[in-house]
Structures are given as C-alpha cells and as structure tokens.
Amino acid sequence: MPGNPVISLRQFVILVTLFSLGSAILYVPGVLSIHAKQDAWIAALIGWALGIGIVWIYVALANRYPHLSLVQCSEHVLGPWLGKAAGLLYLFFPFVLAAIVMRDIGDFVTIEMLKFTPIEIIELSFTFILIVGGYYGLETISRIGELMFPMIIFLFLFLVVFVSPQLKIDHAKPVLEHGITPILLSVKTYIGFPFMELSIFLMILPYVKRTSGAKVAQAFIAGTGICGLMLFVITAASILVLGPSLTARETYPSYLLAKKINVGDFLQRIEAFMAGIWFFSIYMKLVLCLLAIALGIAQLCRLKDYRPLLLPLGVIIFVYSLAISPNMAYMVELTGKLWTAFALTFSLLIPLVLLIVGSFRSRN
C-alpha cells in the first residue's frame, strides 16, 4: 500500500467486529433457526466457540510470517509459480464474497425500503462510494470505523433494551426437542458465515502496528468475540420475541425485530435507524474485500500502487453481483447449501496448508 499505512490494535479490533457483523446481523437469526428452531441460541454459542478456534489458525499463520500478506506468504512458502497460483486462487474468495454482499444490499433496499427503485441504481451508487473508500485507503477506513463504532454499539443496545419487554421464555422451550443434529446443521452454516470469512484479514495484518504476536492474537480474538456476542444476543432476542417459526421464515428477522419496538405508543417505526447498523457494517465489509483483492493482485503483479485497480474491480463486482443470482430466494438457497464448503476450500484450507508446509520447511 502507498505510504505503508499502520493501524492500531484498537482499530483492528473494530474492523474485525464490523466486518464480521456485515450482513450477518440481518441473516444469522433466520439462518440458525431453519434447522435448530428454538435451539438457535445454542447453535450461536457453539458456532461462536468454533469461530474463535478458526481465528487461531489465522493468527498462527500471521504470527509465523508477520510482515507478509496471505498472497506474499503463499509465494514465500510454495515458491513463485505454485505460490502465485495459490494466491490467485485465494483471491477468488473475497471477490465472490464481495459480489454476494453487494447483491445483499440491492435485495434488502429494494425489498424493504425502495421497492420501485431498480436494483442496478442501488448497487451502482454503493459501488461508487466503495471505490472512493478504497482509494482513501486502510488508515482512513480504520479511522471512520473507530469514529462510528460507539454509535453502532449504542443503536444495538437501544434495540436490545427496548425490545426486551416483549421477550417470552416459552418461545425457547422445549430445549433440545429434536436432539443435537439440527443444531450441528445450523452450526455448519454459521462457521462459514461469518467466521471463515475472517481470513481476509490475513491481507490486512501486515499493516497492523505490532507490539507482540500475543497482542495481535488478543485483538483478533477480541473482535471475533464481540461480534459473536452481538450475534448471539440478536439471535436469542429474535427467538424470544418473534418465535422460532417466524424467525426461520423471515429473510430479515432482526429488521422485523426492530419494527416491534413500541415505547408508550410514541417511540415507533425506528427500524431505519437499526438498518443503519447494517449499512455501515456491510460497507466496511465490502471495502475491506475490495482492498484485499486489489492489494493481492498488486502484490502478485509487483505493482507499486493498488489504487488503479479499484475502478475496474468495482465495476466487475457490480456486474457479477447482478449476474450471480436471478432472485433473492435463489441466492438464499444457494448460499445456504454451498457457502460453508466454498469458504472451507478457499478460506480455511489454503491458510492451513501454508501453515503446515511452512512449519515443515522451517524445521528442515
């Protein structure tokens, strides 16, 4: 990156939290409820623990090669030809992720807010601000995240506090009615979305100010832990307020949850403010995906500046997001069936291979 930007550990924690929330804060309650039903909160806890375990793999690789991104690490460990191939193969993951997330934005806005606005206009507008954010770089994005993070936490707590009078414990009963198998099916989806997506930070970690490997590990796990806690709370609240059946049927259960807020018949219809949490966190997710792709290609091609790549990459992501799925129902079904396997192949297997091969080479 131009100027070798450095971000603090605190900023890194915030970036990890916002990236993980992304589209997950709207989708996760419904995704977990499809199989686990009223036990979705148990699936959220198990997936949270497994997600932290996955992050440990990323931390181990980052601490072994602290000044190398994942693309540079693949060349260093596997050699110039095989390493370039592995790095290019990995970059397909943030590209597909960015296209899916971009489509999520278009679908949400056209379904819930601007029903008569073409999805192309929504996504094109978002693509523009995405490219602008990528051009200003990692340091600027990190400072914006640091500035907005307290507001995100405030809005989240506001939602939880004012919806809590409507909680019904009976909606969570009976516990483990159908055994552990449905919970494990939900966990399988949950670890792919969003925890395996965190491998993208292996492209960012060389630009984090390091005092020690342990501090980096703590920061990465802290960000994952905060996100896991927030997703657990929103999942439990959705189950206890909406009930497991409605939560599983709704595409955006947490958005519907915000519609339930009613304080004295005065404070109502504030779901647009809750959507603000999602819009900002999903923007951070998209811009980090775009930075990872552009930076990775620049490193593979030995370019001095990644910024000339932002415009063509943004346009390609925009076009691919429109072509990837004919409608919202198809997208939900497709990602539900294939995303965890896709993330496992690209986002977990490649870093794990690099870690194992690098360990053997260092011993020899």
Per-residue pLDDT, averaged over 1-17, amounts to 84
Task: Return the ∠ at Cα 116 (arms to 113 and 117), rounded to 5°.
Answer: 80
Name the 3-class secondary structure at 91: helix
Q: Which residue has the higher pLDDT, 361 or 32?
A: 32
Res. 23: pLDDT tops 90: no
DSSP 170-189: GGG-STTTT-SHHHHHHHHH
Looking at residue 297, its amino acid is: I
Chain mean pLDDT for the chain: 88
Please compute the mean of the pLDDT values over residues 311-334 and round it to a whole number.
Answer: 86
Residue 72 main-chain phi, psi, to 5 deg: -65, -40
Q: Which pTM was predicted? A: 0.93
pLDDT tens per residue across span 54-110? 999 999 999 999 889 999 999 999 888 899 999 999 999 999 999 999 998 888 888
Tokens, residue 21: 């929330």
For domain 9-363, give the CATH superfamily.
Answer: Hydantoin permease (1.10.4160.10)
The reported pLDDT for the residue numbered 257 is 85
Unique residue bearing structure tokens 């992304």: 22
- The share of the chain scoring above pLDDT 70, in percent, equals 96
Query: Which two structure tokens, joined as six digits, stand for 337?
Result: 């069936």
Q: Determine the average pLDDT of the residues in 312-333.
A: 86
Does 170 score more than 80 pLDDT? yes
pLDDT bin (cut points 50, 70, 90) of residue 155 is: confident
Residue 2's pLDDT is 61
Name the token pair of 135.
């051009």
The model's pLDDT over 196-251, given as tens digits with 9 standing for 90+, comes to 999 999 999 999 987 777 888 999 999 999 999 999 999 999 999 988 888 888 88
Q: Among 37-51, 82-96, 302-316, 318-332, where is mean pLDDT lowest? A: 318-332
124 burial via Cβ count (<10 Å: 0-12, 13-18, 19+): middle
Question: What are the residues whose beta carbons fall under 8 Å from the beta carbon of 130, sequence distance 6 or more?
Answer: 283, 286, 287, 290, 314
Q: Does the pLDDT of residue 3 top 60, yes or no?
A: no
